Amino acid sequence: MRRRRRPPGDFVADLNEGRLDLPRSRSRFVAFGVAGALLLSLLGGRLFQVQVLNGSFYAERAAAARTVKVPIPAPRGLVFDRTGRPLVVNTPSWAVKVRPADLVPAKRDAVLQRVAQLTGTPADQLAARLTAFRGSPFDLVPIAHGISRGAALLLSEEHERLPGVVVEVEPIREYLDQTGAVGGSLLAHVLGYTGPVSAAQLPDLQPRGYLHDDVIGKDGIERSFETELRGTYGSQLVERDASGREGKVLQTLAQPRAGKNLQLTIDAGMQRMATDALTWGMKAAGVSQGVTIVMNPQTGEILAMVSLPTYDNNKFARGISSKEFSIYLDDPDKPLRNHAISDIYPPGSTYKLVTALSALEEGVTDSTRLWPTYGCYQIPNAPAGDCLFDWNKAGFGPLNLVDAFALSSDTFFYQMAIKVGIDPLATWAHHLGFGGLSGIRLPGEAAGTVASTRWAQEQGRSGVFTGEVAQAGIGQNVIAVTPMQLLNAYAALANGGNLMRPMIVRGETDRSGKLTRPYAPERLATVDANPAHLRTLRIAAREVITSGHAYNISELKLPGTLSDKTGTAEFGQPKPDGSLPFHSWFVAYLPSSPGASDAQLAVLTFSYAAIVPGNVSTEVVKYFLQKYFKLKQDLRLDPKNFSLVAAN
């Protein structure tokens, strides 16, 4: 084949020169067409599925990406006393919060220093609270609560110079006294206080709906009735931008439900009387700790519960400083502890109730049999001269159980305890509520100690020594009780043998304090004792008064027949003269007649280390009864010299 010559001057190359044209395949075109059609069908089907069949699903996901569900806190329930007086209310307060995303790192220290200057909160505390936060940088982190109105206004005015700082109004708890004035110390141990949820608590609380900036009950009924008081949080749908910052509210999904309002069994007026009486007694005897509890034996309702020294729970509600908190913690008299339920002490002669009931029930004695008493009781099988003294070093001569209880003969009850034996003695102690929790719905209750063979074995011993058994019979050695346990045991005696659960909350109310849902009293157990034996002991308790063992308290013109038991309990290390320091006890109830089981009022006072000649606890109860019944009598005796206070 001859190649065609390019004409002269033709410099354009023929790109097709030398190319062979092959026959075109029809099947290839068909294959490409079918594949294209299938691809377009798949894409169209998927588009139909996304936009039509699942359109609402993906629309919701898109909406969820730009919205967030935000909780709406519920108002915390109010608290009233049994007469309807408000004791705990919610009041507006200012809080400083920081949004970390808006806080420029380079300005962080300067901003926190300025906040510290205006609020009076140390800058290191503010920084620590901010650093401890774990969450979204767009969340508001509370760093100071309860700031003054002036500080809040200044912070708001300087907001442009304080990036990330926000001032918000939030409700805080305010604790009142019997007059309605701010006064948290009157009922601090009963009411307790609220505080921020700690970082350690948050992981366990988050599944229950708690937030990082939530408050929670920390003590008292604020803690033990947290579920009732907290309420149910609501929720709302809030717009969120691409960076995660929250915007306007789109929809309220659920309204919050306020917490339940509670009415205490406490009468705040009676609480004030009991506090004033105990304060006087502690000052008169130079005592640093004391307890007074008033109770209705029939229902178990606590009418007053005083533990001194006390503290101001409003400081905690507003946000207590480290310095103030350290003062409380370092106080050797432990003002933050409720001594009425959290501390245990030897009950002394008040425990003779247990020994007397044991002796009657175990058949050791009856109400009339005479037993010798001694100045010093020789311990059986012990070396000669190894004896236990009576408080009356001369002894009382022959006594029956009623007289021995009235005169509080130690050597009589040494004998009873040894005859009964340590385990039956422990059994009857448990029947009366000792050695276990009373069940009062307050945090921090102690169980106490009751000696028994089992107790000894837990100490690595085979049993209890005879001398220890004797001392257990008068509430000494290892026997230890709370004031609440002791009052509840005497309440069971006073009401005929019903061991009640001490009640601190009477029921639920409306917002005005009117009771709408009362809580029923609860009987924990019936003391399985012969009713005649219980009546014998009530007669014996009345004879404590009539015998003059409690001095002139018998002269009070009361609407009933006061019955009681005194107690002096040694503790601690011997003094240089060999004597031991001691606490004083006085527990009483007021039936209509001697031996009756209809008492509506029982009262106990405990005085710690009351090392004075007189029983100051008796004088405190006397003073309380004078106040409560508005008696025109003042029979108080100076515990240091027994002189009439009114005559001084």
State the angle between helix axes of 616-628 and 268-285 in degrees (0 to 180), rounded to the nearest 10: 150
Largest CA distance in the chain: 160
Contacts of 277 (CB under 8 A, 6+ apart): 292, 620, 621, 623, 624, 627
The number of helix segments (H) and strand segments (E) in the chain equals 21, 21
pLDDT of residue 12: 45
Coil/strand/helix, residue 125? helix
Decide: 411 and 388 in contact? Cβ < 8 Å: yes
Nearest to 483 by CA among 493, 472, 474, 491: 491
Give 446-490 pLDDT, tens digit per residue.
Answer: 999 999 999 999 999 999 999 999 999 999 999 999 999 999 999
Ramachandran angles phi, psi of 315, nearest 5°: -60, -40
Decide: 95 and 317 in contact? Cβ < 8 Å: no
Series of mean pLDDT values for 10-residue runs along the chain (648 residues): 47 49 61 69 65 57 65 94 98 91 88 91 88 82 86 89 90 96 97 92 91 92 98 89 72 93 98 98 97 98 98 93 93 98 98 98 98 96 92 96 98 98 98 98 98 96 95 97 98 98 98 97 98 98 96 97 96 79 96 98 97 96 98 97 92
Read out DSSP for 627-640? HHTT-S----B-TT
Cα–Cα distances in angstroms (integers) from residue 254 to residues 69, 72, 258, in the given order:
11, 9, 13
Q: Please write down the HEC assignment for all residues of 32-75.
A: HHHHHHHHHHHHHHHHHHHHHHCHHHHHHHHHHHCEEEEEECCC
pLDDT of residue 76: 97
> At residue 19, what is the residue type?
R
pLDDT of residue 1: 43
Average confidence score pLDDT of the chain: 90
CB-based burial label for 258 (10 Å; 0-12, 13-18, 19+)? middle
pLDDT of residue 3: 46
pLDDT of residue 369: 98
- Dist. CA 502–CA 301, nearest whole Å: 6
Decide: 82 and 266 in contact? Cβ < 8 Å: yes
Read out DSSP for 430-444? HHTTTTS----SSTT
Decide: 544 and 409 in contact? Cβ < 8 Å: no
Nearest to 369 by CA among 357, 380, 360: 360
**Structure tokens of 122?**
């140390």
Cα–Cα distances in angstroms (integers) from residue 436 to residues 226, 439, 484, in the given order:
24, 9, 11
Ramachandran angles phi, psi of 475, nearest 5°: 70, 35
Q: What is the set of domains in the chain, with CATH numbers?
A: 92-171 (3.30.70.2110)
Q: Kindly report the number of other CB atoms within 10 A of residue 159's CB atom.
A: 12
- Dist. CA 165–CA 42, nearest whole Å: 54
Question: With a threshold of 0.85, does the pTM exceed it?
Answer: yes
Nearest to 530 by CA among 454, 431, 610, 600: 431
- Dist. CA 27–CA 503, nearest whole Å: 95
Read out DSSP for 181-222? SB-GGGGHHHH-EEEEPPTTTHHHHGGGT--TT-EEEEEHHH
- Dist. CA 448–CA 345, nearest whole Å: 8
Decide: 534 and 490 in contact? Cβ < 8 Å: no
Nearest to 250 by CA among 268, 237, 263: 237
pLDDT of residue 103: 87
Provide the CA 265 distance to its chain's centre, in angstroms.
16
Cα–Cα distances in angstroms (integers) from residue 443 to residues 214, 218, 310, 477, 646, in the given order:
21, 9, 16, 27, 40
